[in-house]
Amino acid sequence: MEFSFKDILRIIKKNIIFIVVVSLVCAAGSFVVTKFVVKKTYTATVKLHVNTNNGSLSINEDLISYNYAEKLVTTYINMLDTNRFFSAVSDTLDNDYSASELKSMVKFTGVEDTELFKANIVSEDPKEAKRIADAVADTAPATIEQLLQKSAKLDIVDEAQVPKAPTSPNVAKNTLIFFVAGLVCSLIIAFIRDYFDVKVKYDSDMTTICDLPILAAIPEFEFSDNNRKSSKQQ
C-alpha cells in the first residue's frame, strides 16, 4: 500500500467530514464517560522522614548518618508494606477496612534518593483518604520502633490534607487521547477504503492500466449559482 503526497492530500480532502466527525465523537464519548460514569478517586499523602541523628557534632558522622538513613528508606518501605502493619492500621481505624483492602489503597514510594518517603492513600471519599493517611502516620513510627528497637526512628514531616480535587480520572487527558485515537482510526479507514476503490483517479492511471496514450480528457467544471442562472436564461 503506497500513497504519494498527492494521494494523501486527496484522501484527506475527500474524507475530511468523516475524519472530523469520528474524532469529535470519540472525544465527546470519552469526555462523557470520564466525567459522569467513571468513579473519581482522591489521593491523600503523608510524608515521613528516617531520622538517624543521635546528636553527633561531627560533619563526617552526620554524612554517614544521612547515607545510612537514605539506604534505610527501602527497608522501611518493605517493613511497612506488610500485612502486620496494615492490620495495625486497621485496628486504628476500628476495623472499618481489612488489611488487604488497606494494602490496595496505600502505596509507599521514596522521594528522589533522600531519607524521605511518602505514603499515598487512594480512596473514593476524600475525607476517608485523609482519615486513613492519619492512621498510617500514627501507626508507622510505632511499628518501626517495635521491629528495629534502635538504630533509627520515623518522623512525620508533612501531615496529610483532605484532597480538594480528584486525582483520577484525568478528563482532559482521556479526552485528548480518544480524540487522537479517533483521528488515527478514521485516517486508517479512509486510506483502506481508497486503496480498495477501483475507480480511475488520474489520467496517468489509464496509461498504466491500458498501456494507451491519453489523446484528450474532459475536465471537471465547477459552476457557481450565478453561472447556473445565466446558463438557464440563455
Bridge partner residues of 47 (DSSP): 118, 158
Query: Helices 16-32 and 5-14 sit at what angle, rounded to 10 degrees?
Result: 60
Grid cell locating 125? 471519599
pLDDT of res. 113:
76
pLDDT of res. 195:
83
pLDDT by residue for the chain (234 residues), tens digit each? 566 888 889 889 999 999 999 999 999 999 999 999 999 999 999 999 887 765 554 545 555 556 666 777 888 899 899 999 999 999 999 999 999 999 999 999 998 878 889 999 999 999 999 999 999 999 999 888 887 766 668 889 999 999 999 999 999 999 999 999 999 999 999 999 888 876 665 555 555 556 666 666 666 656 555 555 554 455
Longest dimension (CA), the chain: 107
Helical spans, DSSP H, in 16-149: 16-32, 59-80, 83-92, 99-105, 126-148
Domain boundaries, the chain: 5-35+170-233, 42-158
H or E element at residue 189: helix 171-195
State pTM to two decimals: 0.72
Topology adopted by domain 42-158: Alpha-Beta Plaits (3.30.70)
Residues 149-166 pLDDT 10s? 666 688 899 999 999 999
CA distances to 43, 107, 142 from 154, in Å:
22, 17, 8
